[in-house]
Amino acid sequence: MTTLRTPIEARAWLRRHGVTISKWARANGFKPAIVAALLAGRSQGNWGEAHHAAVALGLRSPPEDGEEHPLAGTPRAPAQAVAHGTRSAP
């Protein structure tokens, strides 16, 4: 198991390498505001894109290998609908 970083440690890691939050976020496919919120402690990265960014930064543990995704087997997961631009009107 990998040791998790704190937001302060993750910021220091980026700083040591001379990488801005925005540059890291864009290079890894995340919105800079989400990554900034994680590193400022305004978000814990429990859900969605913030969760994926937190895992990539080493702030949260990734799911166990082979663990079934909670939406596996659903006819159409909400995240897929949004990602493909087919979100229905409220």
pLDDT for res 18: 98
- From the number of C-beta atoms within 10 Å of its C-beta (0-12, 13-18, 19+), residue 59 rates as buried
pTM, entire model: 0.74
User: Tens digit of pLDDT per residue, the chain (90 long)?
Assistant: 568 999 999 999 999 999 999 999 999 999 999 999 999 999 999 999 999 999 999 999 998 888 888 888 776 645 554 454 444 444
79 in helix, strand or coil? helix
Q: At what angle do helices 48-57 and 32-40 cross, to 10 degrees?
A: 70
Query: Distance between CA atoms of 90 and 86, rounded to whole angstroms?
Result: 12
pLDDT for res 72: 85
